[in-house]
Amino acid sequence: MQSGIRRGACALAQQARATPNAQLTAALTSGRWESVRGFAAAAAATEAKKAPTGRVSQVIGAVVDVQFDGALPPILNALEVQGFENRLVLEVAQHLGENMVRTIAMDGTDGLTRGQGVLDTGAPITVPVGEQTLGRIINIIGEP
């Protein structure tokens, strides 16, 4: 029974992913660049609405446990704490079960309190590389 549910969920996910790509391909081949820009903006807005959100459950130094209401973000995903004095990025290190993940903070957690909102970025931490970054100082989350 569970494998049938899993197959159905995978099929729905593939169908959802295929639809925007088909629209984007059609827009690109027809030369409608303005609609492509509009499609990208709409897709980004939709992603922001669907991004899983959670709340801080426990803080122990640089280790922060975050509880989510729905699906858990994958390991190595970057999470951003909302309403914190400066940008605080957390990296998912472990799934604890019961909709809880253990993360590692990439900056100080002083002032972080239980219940603060956390947003899943949907991607791992990325740092720019290339000739443009040679000789420049970049921190662990890719900011100059």
> Going by C-beta distance under 8 Å and a sequence separation of 6 or more, which residues neighbour residue 141?
78, 87, 89, 106, 107, 125, 127
Q: Side chain identity at 135, as an amino acid letter?
A: G
Query: Which residue is listed with tokens 């609609």?
Result: 35
pTM score above 0.85: no
- pLDDT tens digit string along 20-72? 444 434 443 444 434 434 444 454 455 545 678 999 999 999 999 999 998 99
Please say whether the beta carbons of 42 and 50 come within 8 A.
no
